[in-house]
Amino acid sequence: MRDRIALAARAACRDPAAITLIGVAKSQSRERILAALDAGLTDLGENYVQEADEHAALLAGHAVRRHFIGALQSNKSRPVAESFDWVHTVDRLKIAERLSAQRPEALPPLAVCLQVRLGDEETKSGVGPDALPALAAGVAALPRLALRGLMALPPEESDVTRQRHWFRELRRLLERLNGAGYRLDALSMGMSGDFEAAIAEGATHVRIGTAVFGERG
């Protein structure tokens, strides 16, 4: 998988080291997760708090950054604030305020990405582009969070040109925020079926499940 990321990075005249591979552990067996960690996986993505709790024991002895990449409910925010390094799915100020208040002082500020809803898919979570500046301002003011960038789950497309369209839109939103004075450096976008297009448009974090662990089941 790292070879494919490196190829995509070089094709876009980018440094492969600038792209973080997040292995998505959703519905994967303990054996597959351990094998990936033993093979050198350094970033693990979790969609569900309960699964993350079950996987915690597997991480002993491994230097792993933990990324929460699923929808986060207010009543599940504390274990995420206490145990994770990154949260990629902040889409409202209320959840950000809870994460900040619950982040232990002994830990560094929790790195967060704002999830943006691209397209007209009402079933997907995310802040709309028009409301993004206000959310960014609110999150940036919270003392125990570090606003790092943006994340999106764009409409599914089979055509690479269309894939790049959505990823380019997210990159431009980040550039606009930086033009307003932010210093954001993370674009969390791209999964197993479209990560090459995401890398071509500037992805810094790609979230890969099947291509790292194999088919779920």
> What are the tens digits of pLDDT across the range 20-31?
999 999 989 999
pLDDT value at 215 more than 90? no
pLDDT value at 77 more than 70? yes
Q: Is the separation of the CB atoms in 29 and 5 below 8 Å? A: no
Could you tell me the pLDDT band of residue 124, with boundaries at 50, 70 and 90? confident
Number of domains in the chain: 1
Count of other CB atoms within 10 angstroms of residue 128: 11
CA–CA gap between residue 22 and residue 32 (Å, rounded): 15
Boundaries of domain holding 117: 2-213
Buried b (16+ CB within 10 A) or exposed e, 33-64: beebbeeebebbbbbbbeebeebeebbeeeeb
pLDDT value at 217 more than 70? no
What's the rounded mean pLDDT across residues 202-216? 90
What pTM was computed for the model?
0.96
Buried b (16+ CB within 10 A) or exposed e, 181-210: ebebebbbbbbeebbbbbbbbbbbbbbbbe
pLDDT value at 123 more than 80? no
CATH code, domain with 41: 3.20.20.10
